[in-house]
Chains A and B, each alone.
Chain A
Amino acid sequence: MIAQAVSQSGVDKFVNALGSGVALGAIYALLALGFVIIFKATQVVNFAHGAIAALGAYLVSYFAVTINIPGRWMTFAPDWLQWSLSALVAVLLTAVVGMIVERITIRPMIGEPLFAIAMITLGLDLIIRTTTNDLLDNTNAGLGDPFGLEVLTFGALRLDAAQIATIGVTIVVVLLLMWFFRTRTGVAVRATAFDQEAAMAQGISVGKVFAIAWGIGAALAALGGIFSSVGSRGAAGVSPFTALIAFRAFPAIIIGGLDSIAGAVAGGMIVGVLEVMAGTYLGGISWLGTGFSGIVPWLVMMAVLLVKPYGLFGTEEIRRV
């Protein structure tokens, strides 16, 4: 069998890299949004974000594949609906885990040095990651998703169903967050983020706001974990490597601004596109060495910080760990 080299025109190559980059950027944006919401409301740098993402992906595998809930009670429904409901259950459960973690380990630390709280989240990362890996038997597990690996073609653009779903879900999430921050609870979160003491003086339950922020943050992390474990990017499903994707999203968080929702989305897109573009166009340049595409987002992050120390959309009064 003689395979034929894939030949793409310059435009096709660029369009496909852009599309793939936007899809990857959407995963980063979901992760960054969760991270930023937790930071914005609680001032906590959550190093356990990747572990929570992997836990969310594992829970989808558990509900959709292992015990088939709620699919076992609704066999009349199409597969995609059964899977979506399993994913929803997993995301909600991950949100509950986030709220429990906040209540037990973070809230007692209110008023304590931020460095100490960051260290607690590092410990949480290890605990949640190890537990998830144990549940996975330290191997990979498919999520039973309906996306498959088939490529859909839109003119020059080639994307798989998982990539399209990732972009679509990210858009929906951003719209929901925009709506949420205009609700009464959302305003309370924003007020707490702006000034905790003033918010408390106005009768806002800061503890409740913390719980909501951790719940939303964990749910968004789960979405990021799920979409990094489907399609070709997650062809083996969720694995002990899934948690690492959160570290790749860090430049997105910093580039956008640690406390900016819009910045999280912009940063995610910038990093996703940069990574894929670098992999596509710089891979053949031997003197750049191995793994240069992974460095590019960090180089851009450093360049942005040199010009705008609080990121593209960040506010200047942030305390950084």
Chain B
Amino acid sequence: MVFVLALVATACSTDDGGATTTVAPTTTTTAAPAPKEIKTGRGVDAATKTIKLGLLADLTGLFAPLVIDITDAQKVYWDNVNAAGGVDGWTVELVIEDTNYNLEQHQEKYENLREQVVAISQSTGSPTNVATLPKYVEDDMLVLPLSWFSGWPFADFDSGVMIEQNTNYCLEAMNLVDFAQSMGGTTINVVGFPGDYGQDAAAGAKWAIDFYDGVELGYDGEAKVIPGQDYTEVIQGIATSGADWTILTTNPSIGATILAGAVQAGYAGRFTGSGPSYNFALLDSPAAGLYDARYYQSAYNVLWGDDTPGNNVMMAAMQAAYPDRRPSDSFIIGWNESIVMHEVIKGALAAFDLTPESFVAVSNSLADVDFGGSQPNQSWTGTPNDFVQRGLAMYEPDLAVYTAAGGAAQTLSQADATTGSVLVQDFFVGAAAAAYDFVGPCYEL
């Protein structure tokens, strides 16, 4: 009941010339059904008024900690929408496949989905999605990738079937450089994985380092972090660089090894990193003190506990669904993915066309989707240079805040539950990211 009241209180949907402002699921989003018959296709059952969305989710692989929470947030979102009457009377059903972040499994699981869903509301990974892209195009399958690769906004790369969300790795890294230089940084190390994630970010960071006067590249550790190998080379590179900032594009556990090793080797500078480089579980590790003292977290969305209308609705719903679970900064990602797909469905219903082709067309015309302050509004119309997301927020892990709230023992039912990070700079677009002419992927796959 609380959730329903929250929906009524916070939801506002106005289809005014393409602008869409929905912050939460609602049952009052469209005008009364027209007598006109709705065209349907794959994944849509007109008899039962059911729309099936797929998820190709890494529930057991490298990114499982992130994706499990994202997936569960989507489940809760649609459960609540359906319980409140669905989208204009249509029930949304999720079909979830675990890909294990494995390329072969991703493609196999897509085969399971391709005949039964109208679109995919979350698909984990860049290499996995790139490899399966020809099939998506062949099927007119709209896919929302859990991947912040800078190539997704370009129709000549993805034929318009991918609807990316948030700021990509490249522009994010530009903002990280902006943040570092605003904190007095003059020499910045760039360190990360090989491939689209690490090298997309490295391309953005290096471009921004060139952009700002008085800022120079320190140790160039682009593509030098090979998961599973010894990191002495990178640690030595950072420690001997003399740089005052290091940008990491790794995963949390490898990032912690590098951060701790570099500090032990005498590095005196500070760290920041691409969003997936940090996980608040690091505040339960021996490196917690170092993260508290040296690290700044990048975020595409607000974090658990932040007071925004969109986040508050999400938190109330997640608390009701999983009162005994740990808080997570990933829930809001899944929630916002669902908001995007909700807007697509509403657009398709407004066009009386629930076919896959209609979903793709609507996705490329969404404008100014409102997430209730939990991330900047986002559009997908015009050229990528016009609509690409460029901003992010910066947080600082605070061990005292995390510990005071109960640390790892916290549950969602706890009013003051927190993932331990404190806002340092609200959503901003740095000068480099604002000036960047986004006419192609920063890193070519």
Contacts and interface: CB of A to CB of B under 8 A. Distances in A.
Interface of A is mostly: loop
B228 A244 contact: yes
Interface string A1-29: 11111110000000001001000100000
Interface residues of B, number: 58
Contact of A293 (B62, B233, B244, B261): B233
A279 B287 contact: no
B163 to A, nearest CB: 26
Contacts of A137: 64-65, 68
B236 to A, nearest CB: 6
A293 B290 contact: no
Contacts of B256: 140, 235-236
B41 interface: no
B244 A2 contact: yes
Interface stretch (B136-144, B265-273, B340-348): B265-273
B285 interface: yes
B240 interface: yes
Contacts of B230: 24, 248, 275-276, 279, 293-294
B257 A235 contact: yes
Interface in A126-157: 130, 133-134, 137-143, 145, 147-149, 151
A142 B236 contact: no
Interface in B277-322: 279, 281-282, 284-290
Contacts of B254: 241
B226 interface: yes
Nearest to B246: A3
Given A3-B243, A5-B241, A237 B264 contact: no
Given A4-B268, A290-B226, A140 B232 contact: no
B4 interface: no
Contacts of B227: 241, 244
Contact of B268 (A3, A7, A65, A138): A3
B222 to A, nearest CB: 9
B253 to A, nearest CB: 4
Contacts of B266: 6
Interface string B128-169: 000000000000000000000000000000000000000000
A291 B232 contact: no
B105 to A, nearest CB: 13
A240 B227 CA distance: 11
Contact of B184 (A1, A148, A244): A1
Given A3-B268, A140-B285, A142-B286, A280 B253 contact: no
Nearest to A151: B264
Interface stretch (A164-172, A185-193, A226-234, A257-265): A226-234
B232 A20 contact: yes
A282 to B, nearest CB: 8
Given A1-B184, A283-B233, A291-B229, A6 B240 contact: yes
A280 B232 contact: yes
B361 interface: no
B223 A147 contact: no
B257 A139 contact: no
B239 interface: yes
A167 B60 CA distance: 34
Contacts of A86: none
Contact of B240 (A5, A17, A140, A291): A5
A236 B232 contact: no
Nearest to B65: A139
Contacts of A245: 228
Given A140-B281, A247-B228, A279-B233, A233 B253 contact: no
Contact of B232 (A151, A237, A247, A293): A293
B286 A237 contact: yes
B440 interface: no
Contacts of B257: 232-236
Contacts of A143: 286
B231 interface: yes
27 contacts: A1-B244, A3-B242, A134-B60, A137-B68, A138-B61, A139-B65, A139-B252, A139-B281, A140-B285, A141-B284, A142-B284, A142-B285, A143-B286, A149-B260, A149-B263, A158-B264, A232-B257, A235-B259, A236-B253, A236-B257, A237-B284, A240-B62, A248-B229, A279-B231, A279-B235, A290-B194, A293-B233
Interface pairs A-B: 4 shortest CB-CB:
A279-B232, A5-B242, A283-B233, A235-B260
Given A234-B257, A294-B229, 5 more contacts: A17-B232, A235-B261, A239-B253, A283-B224, A284-B237
